[in-house]
Amino acid sequence: MRKLLVLSVAAALACGASFKDQARDAMPSKSAIQMGSPQSAQSASRAPAASGAIVQAGPVPASTLGDHAPFFDLTVGVSSTFNGGTAIMLGIIEAVTTYEPTSCTHNSCTWGGPGSGGALDYNDYKLVVSQAQVGDSFNWELSGQPKNSSSGFIVFMSGTAKPGPQKHHGSGSFDVDFDKAALLPGPHDATGQLHVTSYSNVGPAKLEVNYVGAKDSQHPGQKNDVLYSYANDLTGGGDLDFAVHNTTSGDRFSVHSRWKNDGRGRADVAGTGTWGSVSLSECWGAAPFSVVYFNSTLTINLPPWGSATPQGSESACAFSPAAFSPKTAQ
């Protein structure tokens, strides 16, 4: 009987350890999910913050043949905001799972919990990873609780991860509720709910995002809803497509950008609002990413939305013809 008990405990521990490793390997790392963009070190420093630039024309300089392409900068800024933001969120998961779990069963592991926060942390955090009921996926939840408190853990991030053939590579989805995160102590700036409806880093990386209630940093009190998709291609180029709806002003704005692995690219842009409507196309060359073609539905000289005549030839574009975004943010 004693021997049977020892064997049973050993089997349970082995199963827990196996699940721990499977669960840890299934979680995507921030480096594995990070994606490229048509940028260089010199352009990255110029890229505008996406939250304001994507709604209003003001922050974007004139698009002039031979000058640095403003919609190239916009493409870099938006991709950095969403792709980098996704990597930061997943980096939290990666950081937590570098430590040994607090407890494990045959189909669930918990990292952190009460007392897990560092000396200067506002909160304790807890990550629970469990086996999904169907298939080989894993469900996970990240929650926080104020240090030295028994008020209860608040779940502000959760998702599903399906492992791929390599560690930390796979596919899945996750949600971040910034409004719930703001209930915890500490500095908070983001608002709304970020829904990463799909991601994959098996083969060329892909990302689909629906962000509801994002704060417009350039217009206090106003909120944006954003639809965003991103995909690398097998050659090193990429495709970015996003649409914004300012739910306060009613303004809408969309951009579809495509680029080659040498940085040459094109942005097709459309906007509507109380000020009217416009669609335009800008093409840029390889570094230093200068405008090689510009055209707008506005025939008056109103940079960056219009010019008296088209600039350059569309034959110089890396992509042709125009392909405007089909997305509409609610």
Q: Is the dihedral of CA 58, 59, 61, 62 positive or negative?
A: negative
Do the Cβ atoms of 291 and 64 come closer than 8 Å? yes
Give, as one character, the DSSP assignment of residue 309.
Answer: S
Residue 99 belongs to a domain: yes
pLDDT at site 153: 95
Q: What is the rounded distance in angstroms from the CA atom of residue 316 to the CA atom of residue 98? A: 49
3-state secondary structure of 203: coil
Do the Cβ atoms of 171 and 164 come closer than 8 Å? yes
Q: Based on the number of CB atoms within 10 Å of its own CB, is 299 exposed (0-12), middle (13-18) or buried (19 or more)?
A: exposed
Residue 55 belongs to a domain: no
**E-strand spans in 164-319?**
170-177, 193-200, 206-215, 223-232, 238-246, 252-259, 265-273, 276-284, 291-296, 311-312
HSE-up (13 A, CA, CB side) for residue 238: 22
β-bridge partners, 224: 214, 246
CB under 8 Å to 315, separation ≥6 — which residues? Answer: none
Residue 183 belongs to a domain: yes
CB under 8 Å to 186, separation ≥6 — which residues? Answer: 122, 123
Do the Cβ atoms of 318 and 258 come closer than 8 Å? yes
Could you tell me the pTM of the whole model?
0.79
Residue 65 belongs to a domain: no
State the chain's maximal CA–CA distance in angstroms.
92
pLDDT at site 8: 28
3-state secondary structure of 168: coil
Residue 175 belongs to a domain: yes
- For residue 158, the surrounding DSSP H or E stretch is strand 154-163
Residue 328 belongs to a domain: no
From first to last of its 330 residues, the chain has per-residue pLDDT tens of 333 223 222 333 334 447 888 777 777 666 655 555 666 433 433 333 333 333 333 334 457 888 899 889 888 888 877 877 777 777 777 777 778 889 998 889 998 888 877 777 888 889 999 988 777 888 999 999 999 888 999 999 999 988 877 777 788 898 999 999 999 998 888 889 999 899 887 778 888 999 999 888 778 889 999 999 998 888 888 999 999 999 998 999 899 999 998 999 999 999 888 778 888 999 999 999 999 999 988 765 555 555 556 789 999 999 999 999 999 887
Structure tokens at 88: 């930061």
3-state secondary structure of 64: coil
Residue 275 belongs to a domain: no
Distances (CA, A) of 237 to 68, 231, 265: 20, 9, 9
**Domain that residue 182 falls in:** 15-36+75-212+219-260
Number of compact structural domains in the chain: 1
CA angle, 151 as apex, 146 and 155 as ends, to 5°? 70
Residue 247 belongs to a domain: yes
pLDDT at site 242: 92
